[in-house]
Each structure stands twice: as C-alpha cells, then as structure tokens.
Amino acid sequence: MYRLFACLLTVLALCGFRPAPPSTTGPVALSLVDRDTGEELDQYPYRGDRWVAGVPGHRYAVRLRNLTGERVLVVLSVDGVNAISGETAAPDQAGYVLEPWQDSEIAGWRKSSAEVAQFVFTDNGDSYASRTGRAENVGVVGMAVFREARPVYISPAPMPRRPAPVIAQEAHADRAMAADASVARGEARERQ
C-alpha cells in the first residue's frame, strides 16, 4: 500500500511540472543539447533551479546564446569543473568569448586546443568530477558572465597658443615702418 501511495504522489507531483524555456534572465541563455538525438533538452524549474532529464550514456553539449549586442566572457563549469582549464571552477578563470548575438556549443572539457573530453550523462560515481575527488557539484552546469569593458577614450588636451617668434615680430615692425616711410616720402615729393 505504501509503494502505491508513493507512486501516486510521484505521478501527481510530476503532472504539475512542465518544461520551462531556457533561462533568459541574463545576457546569456544556457541550454543542454543531447548530441545523440540532436534535441535541446527541456528544463524543469524546481526551487529556484532548472533541472534537465538526461539519458544515461548519451553525450551532451552546453549551448550558450549571447542575447546582447556586445561581447561577453562566459566562464563555464560542468560538475564544478572549469570547461577550459579543468580546474575546480571559480569565476576568475578562463572562459569563452561570445560575439554579439553568437551561439556556441561546448561539447566537453578542453584537454588541448585540438582535444575535448566529451560531456556524457552518467552515474555520480562514474563522473569525471567524482573520479578526481570533486563530487560536491556533480550534475551542476554553471556559468559566470562578464560584459566586455567599454574602451575609454581620452581626448588630448588642446595645444597652448605660442606667442609669435620675436624675429617675425621685428621683421613685421620693420616692414610697417618702411611702408610708412615710403608713404611719407611720396607725400613729401607731391608737396614740392
């Protein structure tokens, strides 16, 4: 009787759940794609988190979608492990730069520039994080998003006006005096 009651409660609880669209509250939307079927997996909201039902043994990718018109840096972690460096995840680590409106699919932890260890739905004990002694965040896909700093343009200070060179001033004064003198001589000749 207890088992029947527990099954009914489970079915009733699941009937109230419906898939939620990928979270779009921030500058980047995150979703999971089953690489064996090609389908984007439904997300189910529960107590402030979003849950995804994956098929054990299936490979998956994390799809990142930049929803802004500016570049962003996404520091991605899967099972508490940074997807690029393989270190225990922290916000100040390496990440992916997404151009404005860019989509990108991350298929695994980066081992080198050419090699990737695939993301696979598996039991906790078989996960990469568990095997490396970091099981506390198995099953968690997280990201920290940073907007690119806007460039600061500093306009140069205006150049101060320099006084005219003394030599040029003296030459100008000499020409003016010569002109005055020639005018004066011309007037003197006319009077004669």
What does residue 167 show for φ and ψ, rounded to 5 degrees? Answer: -60, -45
- Cβ-contact 109, 128 below 8 angstroms: yes
Position 9 in a domain: no
Domain range spanning residue 31? 17-147
Position 96 in a domain: yes
Position 137 in a domain: yes
pLDDT at 29: 94
pLDDT level of residue 123 (50, 70, 90 thresholds) = confident
Position 103 in a domain: yes
Give percent of the chain with pLDDT exceeding 70.
Answer: 72
- Cβ-contact 50, 43 below 8 angstroms: yes
- Cβ-contact 135, 122 below 8 angstroms: no
Q: Is the pLDDT of residue 9 over 50?
A: no
Position 30 in a domain: yes
Strand, helix or coil for residue 137: helix
Q: How many independent structural domains does the chain possess?
A: 1
- CA nearest neighbour of 143 among 42, 30, 38: 30
Position 59 in a domain: yes
